[in-house]
Homo-oligomer: A and B are copies of this chain.
């Protein structure tokens, strides 16, 4: 049964140095507040897993939390490069970053395998690409019935999965709706899980398009109002597109980034809600 705790406690109890950590949310419901808490707790040597390591992982990589990234698309969506990610890969700053690189379909299926208790998944993918020849966790597999050659990808089984959702009830059951991405699979694939939510309600009211994760399948639930910012939580907030644009400038050089990190993450209180407003681009420069 999920325990309802503070965000700081949830991260303390689940994320250790060296852990494999998957923070998911596909454009929508990205767990930024939780990412900031990991930075504040100065976790190191994390193997970060995420289909789209956008701003949240750019920040964690720049803050020195990660030694390896397992991913399928590392950009600032609709804007351009992730400068901290590039600086780590191209110049090893602040630390070298090993890459394990997949396609979206491959990553999604790796989570599906993890959630299903299987060591691998099968897909039509990768064949003829440079990813196949490089890739850890990519292998040929033949259909035992037709002989056809397909691709197997190894399961993802993170130590910890972290997601953000709209609501939890008092028993720790969680509901998210809108674009739900690969979050259910990430939670079910992981050994431990943290779900931050916009609010804790007495009872979940079923929503169109909603998926419910029962509390007994989750380790910790923590309230973090606005915890997805600059991503959004459908029904609670809108995407802060300006922040995504501003991030391009903030992250472009090391000094500006470090100042931003000090002011808006390391110097902030461990509440998702407050740091959100101060992190708005208006406050940045």
Contact = CB atoms under 8 A, between A and B. Distances in A.
Copies, count: 2
A106 to B, nearest CB: 13
What is the interface of chain A mostly: helix, strand, loop, or mixed?
loop
B139 A145 contact: yes
Interface stretch (A6-14, A112-120, A183-191, A271-279): A112-120
Contacts of A141: 141, 144
B122 A148 contact: no
A145 B120 contact: yes
A146 interface: yes
Interface residues of A, number: 25
A57 B140 CA distance: 40
A121 B121 CA distance: 9
Nearest to A145: B154
Interface in A148-169: 148, 150, 152, 154
Given A120-B143, A208-B210, 17 more contacts: A117-B124, A118-B124, A118-B150, A119-B143, A119-B146, A119-B148, A120-B144, A120-B145, A121-B122, A139-B144, A139-B145, A141-B144, A143-B152, A145-B152, A145-B154, A206-B209, A207-B208
Interface in A198-214: 206-210
A137 interface: yes
A79 interface: no
